[in-house]
Amino acid sequence: MSITAEDSAVIVKTREFCAQIASDPMFCQLQESIERFLNDEAARLQYQSIHERGEDLHQKQHAGIQLGASEVREFEAAREALLENEVAREFIAAQQQLENLQKVIRKTVALTLELGRVPTAADLAEAEGGGGCCGGGGGGCGCSH
């Protein structure tokens, strides 16, 4: 039997893990914040506008174009107004927390596969700190460092 077969112990436990995440009260709150945002057209439009403005400013800056003080002030004022919107603010916070959860899960699973054991808190901290091969948080890159 393959380790990735639907009825393998690894896949069964993975499904159990996913069920645990989906039923976690904090995760459910995060999902509710996202749903509220998705159902609030005004908040979505406000967020999209700020996001697009930010992208435009970033592209200008990346292209070496000097940003005007007024356009930066306008962007900052619009961003502050967005953060005053409770639905948008909670959406942004939920999005950040879910991204952090994904990062921790990916890192833990990746280190497990790399080390052949469950990583310790020290292993995770070392990986976070940029230790390991080429400063990238882990070995296995094939270099001589």
Does residue 137 register a pLDDT over 70? no
Residue 50 falls inside a structural domain: yes
**Domain assignment of residue 53, given as a range:** 9-120
Question: For 21-79, how does the pLDDT look when each residue is reduced to its tens digit (9 = 90+)?
Answer: 999 999 999 999 999 999 999 999 999 999 999 999 999 999 999 999 999 999 999 99
| Overall domain count for the chain | 1
Residue 138 falls inside a structural domain: no
Cα 31 to Cα 3, 64, 116: the distances in Å are 31, 39, 33
State the Cα–Cα distance between residues 112 and 132, nearest whole angstrom.
Answer: 15
Residue with the bigger pLDDT between 131 and 104: it is 104
CATH of the domain at 69: 1.20.1500
Residue 130 falls inside a structural domain: no
CA-wise closest residue to 130 among 119, 139, 117: 139
Taking residues 130-135, what's their average pLDDT? 49
Taking residues 117-134, what's their average pLDDT? 80
Residue 133 falls inside a structural domain: no
What's the pTM value of the predicted model, to 2 decimals?
A: 0.78
Residue 53 falls inside a structural domain: yes
The full DSSP string for 83-124 is HHSHHHHHHHHHHHHHHHHHHHHHHHHHHHHHHTSPPPHHHH
Residue 82 falls inside a structural domain: yes
